[in-house]
Amino acid sequence: MTADDENQMDAQEDQAGPEKASFDSFERSEPPAQGDVNLDLIVDVPVTLSMEVGRTAISIRNLLQLNQGSVVELDRVAGEPLDVFVNGTLVAHGEVVVVNEKFGIRLTDVISPSERIKKLQ
C-alpha cells in the first residue's frame, strides 16, 4: 500500500464521523425509602429564602395610584406569624425580631423534613 492510499483511507475514516458509543444496560433501581434519603448530595446547593408578611389582591388602577406613604392592607392579622419559603415552598413559620439593628426572623414552627420531602414529590 502506498502513502497516498493510506492518506486516502485516513481521509475516508475522518469523513465517516465519530463511532457510536455503546453502553451496557443500566439496572433501574427503586427510589430510596423515606428514611434512606441521602441529603449530603445537595446540602451545598444555594436556594432562595423568603419571608411573607401577607398578601392582597388589588387592581392595576389602585396599584398605579400607590405612592410614598400609601398603606396596603394585607390578609393577615397583626402579630400573626410570618411564612418562611424556600424556593416557593413553605418550610416554617416565624416572628420578626431585631438583631444588631437589622430585621431577622425567629422560627416558631418548622415543617418536618419528611413533610417537606413529601411536598417535593
Residue 76 DSSP label: S
Category of 89 on φ-ψ map: left (φ > 0), alpha (ψ -120 to 50) or beta: beta
35 within domain boundaries: no
Query: Does the pLDDT value for residue 44 go beyond 70?
Result: yes
Range of the domain at 94: 46-54+79-120
Question: For residue 73, is pLDDT > 70?
Answer: yes
- CATH number at 109 reads 2.30.330.10
Is position 113 within any domain? Answer: yes
pLDDT digits (tens, 9 = 90+) for 76-101: 888 888 999 888 888 899 998 999 99
Q: Is the pLDDT of residue 5 over 80?
A: no
Cell of 84: 418562611
pLDDT score, position 59: 95
| pLDDT at 92 (0 to 100) | 92
Is 93 inside any structural domain?
Answer: yes
Task: Tell whether pTM > 0.75.
Answer: no
pLDDT at residue 19 greater than cutoff 80: no
pLDDT at 114 over 90: no
Q: Is 82 exposed, middle or buried (0-12, 13-18, 19+ CB in 10 A)?
A: buried
Segment 92-95 long-range contacts (CB within 8 Å, at least 24 positions apart): 94/51
What is the model's pLDDT at position 12?
Answer: 58
Domains identified in the chain, total number: 1
Long-range CB pairs of 42-48, under 8 A, 24+ apart, other chains included: 47/86, 47/87, 48/86, 48/87
Q: What is the pLDDT of residue 63?
A: 94
Q: What is the pLDDT of residue 17?
A: 54
- Tell me the three cell numbers of residue 114: 419528611
Q: Please check the confidence at residue 3 and state whether its pLDDT lies above 90.
A: no
Sheet-wide strand order for 102-110 = 49-52, 82-86, 89-99, 102-110
